[in-house]
Amino acid sequence: MPAPVSSKPQVETWTNHPETKVSLDWAPLQIIDLSKFDAPGGKQELANELRDAVKRWGFWTVIGTGVTQEQLDRQLSIANTFFKLPLEEKRKVACDFTVGNYFGYREPTRFVGNTDVKENMEMLNLPKYTPNYDSVPRHDLVKAFEDEIAPFHRLVWDAVIRKIFVLFAIILELPENYFVDRHLYDEPSEDHLRYMIYHARSVAEDKKIGEQWTAGHTDFGSLTLLFSQSVAALQVRSPDNEWKWVKHVPGGITCNAADTLSFLTKGYIKSTIHRVVRPPADQASLERLGLFYFVRPGDNVPMVPAPSPVLRREGYLTEEEEKRASEDAVTGYEYVRARVKNVHDRKATRIAEDKPDAVFQVKNLKVQDYYV
């Protein structure tokens, strides 16, 4: 048995950056106050507020989550400490994209498209703390802080994700636990908490890549939670196909729906296109450290449309489709692993100049690979 890690390393405290003073074209994202969730009529009220946001934007912000600023800052400081480790240490547990495995450290090794500019982002994806993942390797630093990371990991699911899934079920007139049951924390899934850092680039380098740090894309799982942070760089494609900046909401969590939730709802819940670009001038030289939770469907959950009266009524789902849906259905694990492999198991990242006509497909499930 490995020796228990007795003392914690010193953390490199992370300090948040000031917000940009540049006036940007911000996306008008709906704010959902989850502190109302348990009040009488609260869930229904929140579901009504969320309905339009999920159908049209696929992006919204939650506040009143119960996750404290102190907990958030502590996670960011642990993340900051991790990224300052020597590369050899970070490499000890690495993502294995040859099998679409996103758990572990992602090193910025790839060139952007056909340029000589390298990726500027590193990440660490931490699987859930449940017996299913006991044997998954973790870095010593992560083990040393497990008493803080593990409860935080589960708290995000319990306090935020579970509630959002209940709201989706109400919107779709399904039993309240319909989506919760397909994303349970204690069942196996590719869910991960993510630490992610973007390093600043020079004006000249950013120019070569069209200032796009990550090309337009949809996320692979069901739901992405981005703990709101002050360095502006994330843009969402609006219902009118215009890029809008996502504004910082202190203490809030920006959420977006992703591919598998769109499959489970026949496209009613929108898997929204977004990208990451060079920050505005007053923030362009800052390190951009972020904390995320990527929610994936349960490994064994079939990607079939929910039997929702709303989907039937609004013409998303025909009787014939409903009958055929479960034949040869793709599972959550199959889709997510294949999608991660397709996007990441390559030597160069995609760039806006590439032809954006690539379609990714697993059996009947189809998405556009990336967007300009």
User: Which positions lie near ligand AKG, rule CB under 6 A?
Assistant: 214, 219, 226, 234, 274, 276, 290
Q: Of ligand AKG, Fe ion, none, which one does residue 226 interact with (CB within 5 to 8 Å by kind)? A: ligand AKG
Name the residue nearer to ligand AKG (CB basis): 113 or 290: 290
Name the residue nearer to ligand AKG (CB basis): 47 or 253: 253
| Cβ pair 128, 153 in contact under 8 A | yes
What is the closest distance, in whole angstroms, from the C-beta atom of residue 121 to Fe ion in the complex?
11
Name the residue nearer to Fe ion (CB basis): 187 or 219: 219
What is the closest distance, in whole angstroms, from the C-beta atom of residue 188 to ligand AKG in the complex?
22
**Per CB under 5 A, does 219 bind Fe ion?**
yes
Name the residue nearer to ligand AKG (CB basis): 171 or 231: 231
Name the residue nearer to Fe ion (CB basis): 49 or 211: 211
**Residue listed under structure tokens 């939650």:** 62
**Per CB under 5 A, does 334 bind Fe ion?**
no
| Cβ pair 275, 176 in contact under 8 A | no
The DSSP call for residue 10 is P
359: β partners? 368
Q: Of ligand AKG, Fe ion, none, which one does residue 193 interact with (CB within 5 to 8 Å by kind)? A: none
Of 39-47, 97-105, 200-208, 211-219: span binding Fe ion (CB under 5 A): 211-219
User: Comparing C-alpha atoms, which of 199, 195, 229 is closest to residue 90?
Assistant: 195
How far apart are alpha carbons 189 and 205 in whole angstroms?
38
Of 69-77, 186-194, 216-224, 282-290: span binding Fe ion (CB under 5 A): 216-224
Q: Of Fe ion, ligand AKG, none, which one does residue 290 interact with (CB within 5 to 8 Å by kind)? A: ligand AKG
Pull the structure tokens for residue 148. Answer: 């803080």
**Residue listed under structure tokens 């931490």:** 126
Return the sign of the alpha-carbon dihedral for residues 208, 211, 217, 222: positive
What is the closest distance, in whole angstroms, from the C-beta atom of residue 157 to ligand AKG in the complex?
19
How far apart are alpha carbons 84 and 61 in whole angstroms?
30
**Per CB under 5 A, does 187 bind Fe ion?**
no
**Per CB under 5 A, does 206 bind Fe ion?**
no
Of 65-73, 155-163, 191-199, 217-225: span binding Fe ion (CB under 5 A): 217-225
| Cβ pair 339, 102 in contact under 8 A | no
Name the residue nearer to ligand AKG (CB basis): 112 or 234: 234
Name the residue nearer to ligand AKG (CB basis): 163 or 288: 288
What is the closest distance, in whole angstroms, from the C-beta atom of residue 309 to ligand AKG in the complex?
32
Describe the strand order of the beta sheet including 288-295 as a list of residue ranges.
Answer: 31-33, 59-63, 253-257, 223-227, 288-295, 192-198, 121-127, 104-106
Pull the structure tokens for residue 74. Answer: 């502590």
What is the number of residues in the chain? 372
| Cβ pair 54, 257 in contact under 8 A | yes
- CB closest to ligand AKG, residue no: 234
3-state helix, strand, coil split of the chain in percent (to 5) is 30, 20, 45
What is the closest distance, in whole angstroms, from the C-beta atom of residue 219 to ligand AKG in the complex?
5
Residues that bind Fe ion (CB under 5 A): 219
